[in-house]
Amino acid sequence: MLVEETPKTTTTKVPPFNPYKAPKYLPPENTTSVPPSPAMAVPVPSEPECDPLDPKTYPYPLVIGIDERAAQDPCTYVPVRTTTKKPFVGPGYLPPVAARVGRSPKTLRLGDVEGARPVWHVGLYTKTTAPYKQICGGSIVRMDVVITAAHCVWNDDTLLEPAENYAVGGNKIYRPWTEPHDKRAQQSDIREIIVPPRYRGGKTSFQDDIAILRLVTPFSYARGLRPVCVSFDDDFDAEQLSEGNSGTVAGWGYTDDIGSPTQFLLWLELPYVDIEKCIAGADDAFLKYITSDKICAGENHTGKALCKGDSGGGLVFWHSEGDLVTPYLRGVASASARADNKECNVNVVGGFTQVTAHRRFLQQHVPDIDQNCRYHYFN
């Protein structure tokens, strides 16, 4: 949700965070949260003969919208124009640091990330248009449950929108619901939407801006689709949410403050910003949206920021433990400032609903939300 904000001139500089060199988290001895045995890992399905997201099996870089043959099978289609920049691929396939999925000269240089593509990310679509229209993002936390922002499914006048008005798409690269290139996309209608009982949208400054989506058709495990992990351990949360660490965000939102939505999935890293610094640097118009359950991430004056269409996506921090690299959901994109007559302000930090602040709500409706996720990330 975007709010008006007067541009600031302050800048917060933090060093980049390498998720593969993150401090190791060792749970207390009196808990059962220990690394599972590799023998307990979920088996990875056999590799397809050709996967356009895997440079090992598909020799041609993924090229977006180059001619009318785009609807053909990408495994047999030789692009007319090529590039040396290869796409990011799933866990287990780490591309060169210089690789890029997409760039914009001003904002959302999503793809400037070392590591794997966000396999947990889904697009949230409204079914009130034909074809369905992408309006927000979300994160798979269980194969039949997605977490998004409550304001994505809310109207301040009519309150919670009907579940039948929405659908989600996972394992997608392209924004359009029916894009033929997304041959491995998985889609589902929404069976139920649950928001915190006190949520009232803009009337209460987007406090409790988080929602649970139960799917009609559960997703199936795939290399390009896995749940993100959730942990309610306060010490672990504080360790990841500390200055110097950065989280991954993804979306199909606007690629410029006066531009248009990107047509293929983009992502980037945003550095965590201490809440006191976030409040001190916020304009009065945006300050009221930094409620008690919010955290901040981003950079001033870099052009890397959330914009319209990115709401609901997860702020995810990677954790390295031996050979196991696991993503943890720490925030849900909620509030971002908007400059006058523009879709967003690309030079300010964004506000995210903190997941651990809603532990009771999430565990009440998804009791096993913090269990078994790591099994999906054994290579």
Domain CATH number, residue 184: 2.40.10.10
pLDDT over threshold 90, residue 304: no
* Residue 168 β-bridge partners: 124, 188
Say if 130 falls within a structural domain.
yes
Q: How far apart are CA 282 and CA 338, in angstroms?
A: 12
φ, ψ for residue 142, nearest 5 deg: -150, 155
Average pLDDT over residues 211-226: 94
pLDDT over threshold 80, residue 204: yes
User: Tokens for 330?
Assistant: 């720490």
Q: Domain containing 177: what range?
A: 121-215
pLDDT tens across 109-132, in order?
A: 333 333 457 999 999 999 999 999
Higher local confidence (pLDDT), 201 or 340 = 201
- In the chain, what percentage of residues exceed pLDDT 90? 46
Q: What is the pLDDT confidence band of residue 259, given thresholds at 50, 70 and 90?
A: low
Say if 226 falls within a structural domain.
no
User: Tokens for 5?
Assistant: 């904000």
Say if 148 falls within a structural domain.
yes
pLDDT of the residue at 335: 84
Say if 281 falls within a structural domain.
no
Q: What is the pLDDT confidence band of residue 320, given thresholds at 50, 70 and 90?
A: confident
Say if 104 falls within a structural domain.
no
> How many other CB atoms are there within 10 angstroms of residue 152's CB atom?
24
Q: How far apart are CA 217 and CA 213, in angstroms?
A: 12
- In the chain, what percentage of residues exceed pLDDT 70? 64
The model's pTM: 0.72
Say if 199 falls within a structural domain.
yes
Q: What is the pLDDT confidence band of residue 266, given thresholds at 50, 70 and 90?
A: confident
Higher local confidence (pLDDT), 179 or 19 = 179
Q: What is the pLDDT confidence band of residue 307, given thresholds at 50, 70 and 90?
A: confident
User: Tokens for 79?
Assistant: 């692009």
Average pLDDT over residues 351-377: 92
Question: What's the domain count of the chain?
Answer: 1
pLDDT of the residue at 303: 63
pLDDT tens across 25-73, in order?
A: 333 334 343 343 443 444 444 444 454 444 444 444 444 333 334 334 4
Say if 127 falls within a structural domain.
yes
Say if 334 falls within a structural domain.
no
> How many other CB atoms are there within 10 angstroms of residue 267's CB atom?
23
